[in-house]
């Protein structure tokens, strides 16, 4: 039954990676902006949740949406103040700018919250494992799977079925024509960016319990976000989702079955997949 426990842990880990990284897939894929500071927004959400739960005594579950909102708001402000000026610039400028933001976020958080790891006081009933037909199921991880699963469905629906989704796709494909059709491209981009940051913030809040949270979060996990987006491709949401699941399960299984090289499995998978499909699992051919 250990196989299933490992599978379960892998799925939970993958789902978490997806929520953390899918905002980056949106900014990078849909908005064509390389935002290496993505992890900083995840960290912001994580710390928001820590402050709300530990200091203000709010229940964990009501803090999660607030973590989403606060990271989203920070994203919105930064987008209006800074990011929008770099939409037209080349990728190198964007990389330098956003990595700078990430470093500043690290130092600022170190100054404000201290460099030690912090922990969110999650409710006691989420702390233990339950036994389902001999499979050890962690309650917290089960919660992650449920929340992230619902979120994925909602995200897919928003992008594919809603008016906002089609406006966004139009604004990305041809901003000038979209403006001509009466779409407020600026507004669409700002909202999308903020939404991506909010998702990262939610991921940070959910992940703090499992991944730990300290001011180095944005740099420590940048590589994981990038792997998910690189393997998944940036043109859909399904791509990063499948990629995150594959990588999560691969990482956990690798560390369990071959612990000696376990830390390397995720990179090996990335290389293999990218050799096979250079634009990611669901990537279109590179016409852009």
Q: Which residues bind other proteins (CB under 8 A)?
A: 2, 5-6, 9, 13, 107, 110, 114-119, 121, 127-129, 136, 138, 140-141, 209-212, 214, 216, 220-221, 224, 251-256, 259-260, 262-263
At CA 62, angle to CA 59 and CA 63, rounded to 5?
85
Give the relative orientation of helices 2-25 and 217-232 as an angle to the nearest 10 degrees. Answer: 90
Q: Is the dihedral of CA 94, 96, 102, 104 positive or negative?
A: negative
The residue (of 59 and 114) whose beta carbon lies closer to other proteins is: 114
- DSSP class of 281: T
Specify whether the CB–CB gap between 259 and 36 falls below 8 A: no
Closest separation in Å from C-beta 119 to other proteins: 6
Closest separation in Å from C-beta 210 to other proteins: 6
Cβ-based burial of 275 (10 A; exposed 0-12, middle 13-18, buried ≥19): exposed
Judged by DSSP in three states, 87 sits in: coil
The residue (of 5 and 192) whose beta carbon lies closer to other proteins is: 5
Q: How far apart are CA 187 and CA 79, in angstroms?
A: 11
Beta 129-132 vs 135-138: how paired, if at all?
Answer: antiparallel
Closest separation in Å from C-beta 209 to other proteins: 7
- DSSP class of 56: T
Q: Give 136's strand partners.
A: 131
Closest separation in Å from C-beta 63 to other proteins: 17
The residue (of 130 and 160) whose beta carbon lies closer to other proteins is: 130
- Cβ neighbour number for residue 265 with a 10 Å cutoff: 18
The residue (of 87 and 256) whose beta carbon lies closer to other proteins is: 256
Closest separation in Å from C-beta 133 to other proteins: 16
The residue (of 119 and 173) whose beta carbon lies closer to other proteins is: 119
The residue (of 201 and 254) whose beta carbon lies closer to other proteins is: 254
The residue (of 115 and 184) whose beta carbon lies closer to other proteins is: 115
Closest separation in Å from C-beta 136 to other proteins: 7
Q: How far apart are CA 225 and CA 183, in angstroms?
A: 31
């Amino acid at each position: 039954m250990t196989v299933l426990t490992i599978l379960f842990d892998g799925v939970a880990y993958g789902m978490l990676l997806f929520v953390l990284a899918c905002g980056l897939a949106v900014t990078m894929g849909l908005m064509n902006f390389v935002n290496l500071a993505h992890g900083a927004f995840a960290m912001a959400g994580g710390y928001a949740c820590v402050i709300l739960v530990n200091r203000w005594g709010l229940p964990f579950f009501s803090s999660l949406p607030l973590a989403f909102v606060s990271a989203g708001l920070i994203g919105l402000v930064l987008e209006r103040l800074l990011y929008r000026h770099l939409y037209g610039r080349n990728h190198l400028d964007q990389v330098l700018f956003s990595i700078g933001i990430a470093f500043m976020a690290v130092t600022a958080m170190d100054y404000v919250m201290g460099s030690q790891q912090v922990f969110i006081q999650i409710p006691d009933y989420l702390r233990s494992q339950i036994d389902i037909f001999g499979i050890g199921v962690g309650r917290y991880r089960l919660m992650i799977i449920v929340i992230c699963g619902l979120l994925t469905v909602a995200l897919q629906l928003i992008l594919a079925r809603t008016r906002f989704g089609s406006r966004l796709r139009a604004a990305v494909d041809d901003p000038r024509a979209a403006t001509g059709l009466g779409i407020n491209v600026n507004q669409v981009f700002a909202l999308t960016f903020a939404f991506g940051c909010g998702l990262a913030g939610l991921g940070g809040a959910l992940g703090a319990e499992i991944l730990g949270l300290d001011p180095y979060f944005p740099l420590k996990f940048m590589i994981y976000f990038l792997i998910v987006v690189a393997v998944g491709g940036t043109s859909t949401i399904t791509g990063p989702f499948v990629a995150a699941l594959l990588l999560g399960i691969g990482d956990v299984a690798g560390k369990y079955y071959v612990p000696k090289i376990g830390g390397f499995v995720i990179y090996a998978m990335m290389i293999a997949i990218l050799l096979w499909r250079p634009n990611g699992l669901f990537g279109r051919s590179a016409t852009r």
